Structure 1
Amino acid sequence: MISASALNSELINKIAQDFAQATGLAVVVVNIHGEEISKLFNFTLFCQLMRQHPQHSIRCRMSDRVGGLEASKSNQRCIYRCHAGLTDFSIPLVITGHLVGFVLCGQVRLRNDVELVHILDIDDRWQADPSLMSEFLNVPEMDYSRVIASADLLTLIIENCLKKQINFVMIKDQQQPAEKSRIGRGQNPHDSKMKKALRYIDTHLSDELRLEDVAAHIYLSPYYFSKLFKKYQGIGFNAWVNRQRMASAREMLCHSDWSIASIARNLGFSQTSYFCKVFRQTYQVTPQAFRLKINEHERPE
């Protein structure tokens, strides 16, 4: 399991700050939920205002998360347009085989007419705000070739500096004296195993998750892990996995334009019909009806 100290280290902020200053691009590191785990470096005033807005900020965070997930599909950098039409790129942060977050850069307007991945519907409602429109026009322009070069450079930095340093921090933590690593008084010895299992589930929702595989990951028998899981979480393993997947499905239906089939595949469902069945059992509405209801609610009067 990746320690919080490893992900929130000064090194992450230092690399992000230096890269932002060298390239003129905005940089932030987020976890797999799209939550910021670094400071915001070189953010344009337009994006700062968007992230302060109650509605627009939700799509900004969703854009961060979906852009990161798009990159994680191939474990390579992905250049895309955000929900406001700006160009960004994302690089997955994979440590010891686990996807733990994404490095996001960009916030530029392209000089070139280039076809890019559209991770979310372009949301132009913000254009009704004169202050946002004015700041959008102040967003710097950049050649597509420079964006590619910046993305490739940051990939090298992450692979050859950041990941190695984080791995070193993790190894150093594991080599602390026994008295420091010993489980505290009154703490159940299985707490750490369950935290590790839940983190594994959270980062593998798009895979075929089997109880046996998660049990093996934390060195417990499937039978014992099944009983332990229900004791800790109050529900069975499969029910918990489906609950987490359905929570992610709601976010994607609200803030992305992915098809129902794409969302189902992204959340580890081999059959769209089964995904729709589970979603309806969870929320008493089909995914299609849920999305229509959200769109009608957000439509300006």
Structure 2
Amino acid sequence: MISNTMINEIAYDFSMATGLAVLVVDLEGNEISPRFNFTALCEKIRTHNSLFEVCKRCDRVGGLTSLQEQKTIFYQCHIGLIDFSIPLTIKGNLIGFIQCGQAKVTDKNQIPVITHHKHNWQKNNELLSLYEDIPEVKMRKIVSSSAILTKIVDNYLSEKLVLSQLSDGGHTKHNIEQNNTLTKYKVEKALDFINKNIASELTLENVAFHIDLSPFYFSRIFKKHTTMGFNHYINQQRVNDAKLMLTNKDMSVSNIAKSVGYNNTSYFIKQFKKQCNMTPLEFRNNTPVL
């Protein structure tokens, strides 16, 4: 948590005044403030480890996209709620993002989905009921709220906030010193491309080409950002997506294998068992429907 209470007080007051959820995250999408005015759905979603990881990725990609575009970007999270992100800088150093929203709006057809993942949360009756309980709001309210918070951040908070050390002993300071925003954006763009095309043939070369980097340089920054090699990440992501799809009892293992990019079902089972210490069917039989 941020020990300086100024940002928490502003986040709390803004969330209470607008009815929107507010959260401050670091450059990796990790929560570094309390959760203000969270919906019951989002609180519940974040108790599922696999879905929580997707939440963090939405926060991370949303923040970096807003920074790259140099304007507030409105987007749909993986659940279909509307969020927006405002970069938080202290003395010119990017330290994280203020995430706001969790709003259900009707006129969202033109708002992009920030990241694509295969999961079946709608098949969980509790989650679906919590989604239906969220009141609908007009997109105009979200736009106006973002304009107010942007003015607060740009004209007051960024100048006045003195950031204290985090309780983990300087994690934010380390992020400031190590941050290369353009590199992070490139890697996030690559990760988004991978997630959208997980069923396709993915190679280091074609992903590097997509983000306009040489394969050699892309391989280096990818491993630095994700702490694993490219092929390892692809297999891990495919298995993670498969785990979510396995909660759908109607899908066969062979169809799931093809849906996540494995043409050979036996190889898929081998990779799955390597990562999970059990076969896909064993996982399905021991996992409740999300």
The alignment's TM-score, normalised by the length of structure 2, stands at: 0.67
Task: Please say if 1:85 is aligned against 2:80.
Answer: yes
Determine the C-alpha separation between the residues in 2 that align with 1:29 and 1:115.
26
Task: Please say if 1:204 is aligned against 2:146.
Answer: no
The alignment's TM-score, normalised by the length of structure 1, stands at: 0.65
Determine the C-alpha separation between the residues in 2 that align with 1:264 and 1:201.
26
Q: State which of 143, 157, 174 in structure 2 corresponds to 1:148.
A: 143
- CA displacement at 1:299 relative to structure 2: 3.0
Residue 165 (structure 1) aligns with? 160
Determine the C-alpha separation between the residues in 1 that align with 2:106 and 2:51.
25
Deviations 1:216-248 (A, max 9, x none): xxxxxxxxxxxxxxxxxxxxxxxxxxxxx7xx7
- CA displacement at 1:289 relative to structure 2: 5.7
- CA displacement at 1:297 relative to structure 2: 4.8
Determine the C-alpha separation between the residues in 1 that align with 2:196 and 2:46.
20
5+ residue gaps, structure 1, are 174-191, 208-244
Determine the C-alpha separation between the residues in 2 that align with 1:126 and 1:20.
26
In the TM superposition, what are the counterparts of 1:207-226 in structure 2 within 5 Å?
207=183
* Secondary structure at 2:231 match in 1: coil
Q: State which of 123, 128, 131 in structure 1 corresponds to 2:123.
A: 128
Instruction: Percent identity, please.
Output: 30
- CA displacement at 1:200 relative to structure 2: 4.5
**How many residue pairs align between the two structures?**
230
Residue 216 (structure 2) aligns with? 274
In the TM superposition, what are the counterparts of 1:177-256 in structure 2 within 5 Å?
199-200=175-176, 202-204=178-180, 206-207=182-183, 252=191, 256=195
Residue 283 (structure 1) aligns with? 229
Determine the C-alpha separation between the residues in 1 that align with 2:212 and 2:234.
18
Amino acid at match of 2:229: Y
Q: State which of 238, 247, 257 in structure 1 corresponds to 2:196.
A: 257
Q: State which of 7, 10, 13 in structure 1 corresponds to 2:8.
A: 13
- CA displacement at 1:114 relative to structure 2: 3.5
Residues 206 and 146 (structure 1 numbering): CA distance in 2 closer, same or farther, change over 3 Å? same
Task: Please say if 1:39 is aligned against 2:34.
Answer: yes
Structure of greater relative contact order (alpha carbons < 8 Å, 6+ residues apart): 2
5+ residue gaps, structure 2, are 165-169, 199-203, 247-252, 254-290
Deviations 1:17-40 (A, max 9, x none): 100111010011111111112111
Residues 156 and 149 (structure 1 numbering): CA distance in 2 closer, same or farther, change over 3 Å? same
**Deviating 4+ runs (over 2 angstroms):** 198-202, 251-266, 272-299
- CA displacement at 1:113 relative to structure 2: 3.9
Amino acid at match of 2:43: Q
- CA displacement at 1:117 relative to structure 2: 2.4
Deviations 1:179-198 (A, max 9, x none): xxxxxxxxxxxxx9xx96x5
* Secondary structure at 1:89 match in 2: strand
- CA displacement at 1:50 relative to structure 2: 0.3
Deviations 1:39-84 (A, max 9, x none): 1111000000001112111111111111111111123221100011
Residue 238 (structure 1) aligns with? none
Deviations 1:81-129 (A, max 9, x none): 0011110010011222221100011001112143112211154511111
Which structure is larger by alpha-carbon Rg, 1 or 2?
A: 1
RMSD: 3.7
